[in-house]
Amino acid sequence: MSELPDSWSMSTVGAVAKCITGNTPPKNDPEYYGDFMPFVKPTQLLDGAVSDAPEKLSEKGAKVARVLEPNSVLVSCIGNLGKTAINGRKVAFNQQINAAVFNEGVEPKYGFYFFQSSSARRQLENLSSATTIAIVNKSKFQSVKIPIAPLPEQRRIVARIEELFSRLDAGVAALRHAKAQLQRYRQSVLAAAVTGQLTQAWREQKVAEASRLSSPDKNQRQDASATLPYESAEDLLKRILEQRREQWDGRGKYKEPLGYSGENPFDTPPTWALANFEQVSRRVTVGHVGSMKDEYTESGVPFLRGQNVRANRFDPNGLKFVSREFHLSLSKSLIRGGDIAVTRSGDVGIACVIPDELGEANCSDLVLIQGPVLLNPNFAAYYMNSLGRRLVRAGKVGVAITHFNTQAVAAMPLPLPPLAEQHQIVAEVEARTTAIDHLEAELDRQITRSNRLRQSILASAFTGKLVPKGTEVASRMLS
């Protein structure tokens, strides 16, 4: 810690505060729990004021608990060290929290802000027991060093911290609001993409070109090398079904897929068609269903789970591996680049395209749209992550939202643009989402910078550099 002003003194938390470790009344006796007093746990310590908690004690429970008077400072001392709160009313607290009840020589909020500083948190980390879970017991908590300014200066420091933090909080709130706006814009881009709004001008131009090229009017004759640039979606669907039939490698006699038979739930251009995933893919299947605890290996064939599927992107974090023998025994759920993976439990209906660089892989608890036929898989993922998920959430796919199945995905209505328009849609979405990604990254940098500024303010506060000095002497205030 930097050298302190002459009027300050260095002390310990135990010398300037009564330190208390919380406890938990017996859980097996419901009479200890009720609605009389908030029972605070580390999850309620959010570096702010705390006056309530989800769990509460009865009057009987409060009598056996450790209870804090208002304006005590609570500090988490197990696991996530150093999270703080200051209580606005009487509260009880559990054994994962140490509390400091400061004496009259220390402004409670001065101690509250001190424990948010990187200096205090580094001390807690250095004092913690060398176990799998960091623990700072009461005696070690009492030994934390705290710089003590004269009391009037403490109050000026607190007032200045709160003034600056208020400005930072307003700035961060604006940044987070901007991020939320970007997320809404991202969703609006996807919705516009899969309903044809995003490519309306492009489509009108192509339709006009096709009309001129087919016109018998010599005055509208185009260059002889020109060709019709716009295949109708109905013609594309016919080609898809023909190619699907030709590439059939399944068992038994080929069966024509049933098209979507319900009403069109989308407001799409008349040049588009309506299909379903069974029609436009080689097969819709499901990943392995069963225990995997003895099948994972250190290396081998990549094995995907729901956590690897994010909206419009594959996430390699937490990717598992299985032996090639196990992989080959699950031939039905084999994954290749260009396939589409859809989550079938938890946050249902999220989809991404499998990247080519992953190579051959397998999975569990995912629905797979294998081998899209004359379908841009990115367009299909955009659909699933926008209109498709709305159908799922609205319960309009015929299954419970908590467990999505292959039949539901296979039969889902899919708006089908002409192939050239699919590619144009993907190009335009990628351009816009790349810009959104850059803006979000910049907002994240600004939020991170605000957190650093917060720590810089606290560092200045507790080294005597934040407010003008007074004539008081801290040692006299504490004597």
Digitized pLDDT (tens) for each residue of the chain, 479 residues in all: 568 999 999 999 999 999 999 999 999 999 999 999 999 999 999 999 999 999 999 999 999 999 999 999 999 999 899 999 999 999 999 999 999 999 999 999 999 999 999 999 999 999 998 778 899 999 999 999 999 999 999 999 999 999 999 999 999 999 999 999 999 999 999 999 999 999 999 998 887 887 777 665 555 444 433 444 568 899 999 999 999 999 887 777 888 888 888 788 889 999 999 999 999 999 999 999 888 989 999 999 999 999 999 999 999 999 999 999 999 999 889 999 999 999 988 888 999 999 999 999 999 989 999 999 999 999 999 999 999 988 887 765 544 444 567 888 898 999 999 999 999 999 999 999 999 999 999 999 999 999 999 999 999 999 999 998 765 655 544 44
Query: Is-contact 1 147, C-beta < 8 A?
Result: yes
First to last CA, the chain: 23
Query: Is-contact 304 289, C-beta < 8 A?
Result: no
**CATH architecture assignment, domain 233-417:** Alpha-Beta Complex (3.90)
C-alpha atoms less than 13 angstroms from C-alpha of 23 in its C-beta half-sphere: 11
> Which stretches of 194-272 are DSSP H helices?
200-213, 233-246
Spatial separation of the C-alpha atoms in residues 380 and 422, rounded to whole Å:
9
Q: What is the DSSP letter of 141?
A: H
Tokens of 148: 């003590």
Global model pTM greater than 0.85:
no
Spatial separation of the C-alpha atoms in residues 335 and 331, rounded to whole Å:
9
H/E stretch holding 74 reads strand 73-76
User: Which of 57, 44, 110 is CA-nearest to residue 83?
Assistant: 44
CB contact set of 373 (below 8 Å; sequence gap of 6+): 240, 243, 244, 247, 280, 281, 282
Tokens of 89: 């009313």
What angle is formed at CA 80 by the lines to CA 78 and CA 86, rounded to 5 degrees? 85
> Which stretches of 135-199 are DSSP H helices?
138-142, 151-193
User: Which of 16, 45, 49, 15 is CA-nearest to residue 121?
Assistant: 45
Chain centre distance of CA 398: 28
> Which stretches of 214-290 are DSSP H helices?
233-246
Helices 118-127 and 419-461, interaxial angle, to 10°? 90
Helices 200-213 and 419-461, interaxial angle, to 10°? 160
| Residue 227 pLDDT | 45
Chain centre distance of CA 316: 15
| Residue 176 pLDDT | 96
H/E stretch holding 265 reads none
Torsion angle (degrees, nearest 10) of CA 464, 465, 469, 473: 10
Handedness of CA 99, 104, 109, 114 (dihedral sign): negative
Query: Is-contact 461 113, C-beta < 8 A?
Result: yes
User: Which of 384, 392, 385 is CA-nearest to residue 408?
Assistant: 392
| Residue 37 pLDDT | 97
Spatial separation of the C-alpha atoms in residues 260 and 90, rounded to whole Å:
62
User: Which of 392, 394, 393, 426 is CA-nearest to residue 412?
Assistant: 392
- CATH, domain range 9-148: 3.90.220.20
Burial of 177 (0-12, 13-18, 19+ CB in 10 A): exposed
Spatial separation of the C-alpha atoms in residues 357 and 317, rounded to whole Å:
15
Q: What is the DSSP letter of 258?
A: P
Spatial separation of the C-alpha atoms in residues 477 and 479, rounded to whole Å:
6
What angle is formed at CA 437 by the lines to CA 434 and CA 443, rounded to 5 degrees? 145
Spatial separation of the C-alpha atoms in residues 340 and 352, rounded to whole Å:
6
What angle is formed at CA 61 by the lines to CA 57 and CA 62, rounded to 5 degrees? 80
